[in-house]
Structure 1
Amino acid sequence: MPDYAVLDAALTRVGVPFTKEESMAAHTSFKIGGPADRFLRIADAAALSAALRALREAAVPYFVLGNGSNLLVPDEGLRGAVLALEGSFKAVELTGSGRLLCGSGASLASICAFARSNALTGLEFAWGIPGSLGGALYMNAGAYGGEMKQVVSRVWFLEPDGTPASLAGEALCFGYRTSAFTNTKRVITKAELQLESGAEAEIAVKMDDLMQRRKSKQPVELPSAGSVFKRPEGHFAGSLIESCGLKGCAVGGACVSEKHAGFIVNRGGATCADVEKLIEHIQETVLRETGVQLEPEIRRVRL
């Protein structure tokens, strides 16, 4: 059984700051989610190792939070600890010809901007993806014909017992929205990206174009968790959903976007239950009308 007294004492002893009953709605792009029993702010690798030891000692399950942009957190919250990687985990540096060493807590936006300012091309596709590097690696995030597997050369992480390790090349097992980290308790700490030299002005033009396309086609003005479903083979989820007349379909405060049917938006007061019921209704309708089974891309957080 989880022993929070043991956890709190251990975290206090090693200087890892934490809060109790932290609302996860404040930490997700969907603005949905109940309180987490403990919310830990991790500043560096030493603090992360200490926190993992404390969690193991206290038998408290954990979840590593990125930017919270692809998550659906239960209304009842999370019975465990949420780890937010901050401080040195947000660092981005140039280490060689076209090589960036990036902390897993760094936002894709900050890494893209750094690459642009150093005239490095290859990461433009990620401009506008609202996630952290760690989350992007976890699911091999991608957009507009690009994906993380194209630019990542090595990833460092901690095993659940705190043992440091790294993977490179094919061992990263990147696939469509999956990687060697998917459905594991490994904690990604940093990654090396290999980019190519380019012209800063051309890189900026491409990034601006992709951002404008994103803003014109996606409901960025309302809280969402990005694309709800993975792309079914031979189809586009949004097109299938729209063809079934589901644009604007709502359950409580959750609604299929009128702008892009592949998104569910929080139009005000949506709950996790609302979203889950709407996802189920979409899946059932699309399967009945088209014979295609939609698989969620959104990550439902369970500890």
Structure 2
Amino acid sequence: MFEKFIRIEGEGLIKVKTMELTKALPNLKILLDEPLMNYTFTKTGGPVDALAFPKDNDDVKALVDYCREQAIPWIVLGNASNLIVRDGGIRGVVIMLTEMTTIRVEENVITAQAGAKLIDTTYVALDHSLTGFEFACGIPGSIGGAVFMNAGAYDGQLQDVFESADILLADGTIETWSNSDMHFAYRHSTVQEQPAIVLTARFKLMAGDTVQIEKRMKELTELRQLKQPLEYPSCGSVFKRPVGHFTGKLIQDADLQGLVWGGAQISEKHAGFIVNINNATATDYIELIAHIQKTIKEKFDVTLETEVRIIGEEPK
């Protein structure tokens, strides 16, 4: 009981401190007790104490500096696409970079702020006849989130075109990390290993033929529309591809495709997706993910690892 009291007291202190944010950083857009279901692609997730929308690097640094000084926990959500926030929400500050969307081109290098949409960036590449980014034309994430998880599709990954990124560390310093600094792996980057924020990223592309680039992007967009359940809210691809297997086929072979769990369903269109068909909760998603993992392990002795990030607290 004493430990529970200390925990509640600590949470209350964090809430009081976050309420002071609007006074300490008056020029920053901050929403208090904001339901994150309004922002996640699954349309699920509990409230956060404070949701902040910085407009530039200075705003981000000021916010992180304040949180460090006041011992307020913080986390960055990107644009909340490949993410599940538990129904209890998040204590402290959530930083969304959706207002930092500038994209610039200099010769064959594209520089994009972390909040820019990955899809928008691929179309900027098209407009400048730059090739190498076509694989990302259907990935509904932000630049920062894509760097964070080394996003990829259709035999392409971000590491293939990544040149460098400006990274804000938890101590308030800003460093520039190269491709080798990122230690990219399948759905992994060094940014995942420490409290850090991608502010801006640069991608080195090659001069190409506009007609051929556009043709390839159209092919990939049509393929995505054909195979993915875009008509429902979802978190995108739920699981990493296990070595030697295809996740969707494993789920189909286990007779799980179409299974409904609360308001969530294993998509009938693509078994690697879980869709929100009837006011699903994050708990519905998480329990269904666990059921899929348990079933696939029992039937095929294959361990499915989640690609989607699951964060936040369970409801009380």
Same fold (TM over 0.5): yes
- Residue 220 of structure 2 aligns to a residue in which SS? helix
Task: Name the CA distance, whole Å, in 1 between partners of 2:24 and 2:239.
Answer: 43
Match of 1:12 among 7, 23, 40: 23
Mapped pair 1:58 → 2:70: yes
Identify the residue that residue 230 of structure 1 maps to in structure 2: 240
- Residue 21 of structure 1 aligns to a residue in which SS? strand
Identify the residue that residue 25 of structure 1 maps to in structure 2: 37
Counterparts of residues 150-165 of structure 1 (less than 5 Å): 150-165=160-175
1:94–1:101: 8 Å Cα contact kept in structure 2? yes
Please report how far the alpha carbon of residue 3 of structure 1 lies from its aligned counterpart in structure 2 after TM superposition.
Answer: 4.0
Task: Name the CA distance, whole Å, in 2 between partners of 1:85 and 1:169.
Answer: 22
Question: Given the superposition, is the C-alpha separation of residues 255 and 183 from structure 1 closer, same or farther in structure 2, using an over 3 Å criterion?
Answer: farther
- Kindly provide the amino acid, as one letter, of the partner of residue 103 in structure 2: V
Counting aligned pairs with the same residue, the percent is 39
Mapped pair 1:247 → 2:260: no
Deviation per CA, 1:96-146, whole angstroms, max 9, x where unpaired?
x21011101100011011000010010010011000000000000000000
Q: Which runs of 5+ in 2 are unaligned?
A: 1-9
Please report how far the alpha carbon of residue 13 of structure 1 lies from its aligned counterpart in structure 2 after TM superposition.
Answer: 3.4
2:78–2:142: 8 Å Cα contact kept in structure 1? yes
Mapped pair 1:94 → 2:108: no
Please report how far the alpha carbon of residue 43 of structure 1 lies from its aligned counterpart in structure 2 after TM superposition.
Answer: 0.6
- Kindly provide the amino acid, as one letter, of the partner of residue 170 in structure 1: S
Identify the residue that residue 6 of structure 2 maps to in structure 1: none
Identify the residue that residue 35 of structure 1 maps to in structure 2: 47
Q: Give TM-score, length-normalised by structure 1.
A: 0.96
1:155–1:190: 8 Å Cα contact kept in structure 2? yes
Match of 2:157 among 138, 147, 155: 147
Deviation per CA, 1:40-81, whole angstroms, max 9, x where unpaired?
110111111110111112211111121211000011111111
Question: Given the superposition, is the C-alpha separation of residues 255 and 7 from structure 1 closer, same or farther in structure 2, using an over 3 Å criterion?
Answer: closer
- Residue 29 of structure 1 aligns to a residue in which SS? coil
Counterparts of residues 36-185 of structure 1 (less than 5 Å): 36-87=48-99, 89-95=100-106, 97-185=107-195
- Kindly provide the amino acid, as one letter, of the partner of residue 65 in structure 1: L
- Residue 176 of structure 1 aligns to a residue in which SS? coil
Match of 2:281 among 246, 271, 288: 271
Please report how far the alpha carbon of residue 166 of structure 1 lies from its aligned counterpart in structure 2 after TM superposition.
Answer: 1.5
Please report how far the alpha carbon of residue 11 of structure 1 lies from its aligned counterpart in structure 2 after TM superposition.
Answer: 4.4
1:7–1:57: 8 Å Cα contact kept in structure 2? no
Match of 2:310 among 297, 300, 303: 300
Deviation per CA, 1:197-233, whole angstroms, max 9, x where unpaired?
1111111111011010001011011110011100000
Mapped pair 1:194 → 2:237: no
Task: Name the CA distance, whole Å, in 2 between partners of 1:6 and 1:274.
Answer: 32
Please report how far the alpha carbon of residue 194 of structure 1 lies from its aligned counterpart in structure 2 after TM superposition.
Answer: 0.2
2:15–2:92: 8 Å Cα contact kept in structure 1? no
Paired residues, number: 301
Question: Given the superposition, is the C-alpha separation of residues 86 and 281 from structure 1 closer, same or farther in structure 2, using an over 3 Å criterion?
Answer: closer
Task: Name the CA distance, whole Å, in 2 between partners of 1:232 and 1:58.
Answer: 42
Identify the residue that residue 5 of structure 2 maps to in structure 1: none
Identify the residue that residue 3 of structure 2 maps to in structure 1: none
Q: Give TM-score, length-normalised by structure 2.
A: 0.92
Task: Name the CA distance, whole Å, in 2 between partners of 1:257 and 1:7.
Answer: 39
- Kindly provide the amino acid, as one letter, of the partner of residue 12 in structure 1: K
Question: Given the superposition, is the C-alpha separation of residues 7 and 25 from structure 1 closer, same or farther in structure 2, using an over 3 Å criterion?
Answer: closer
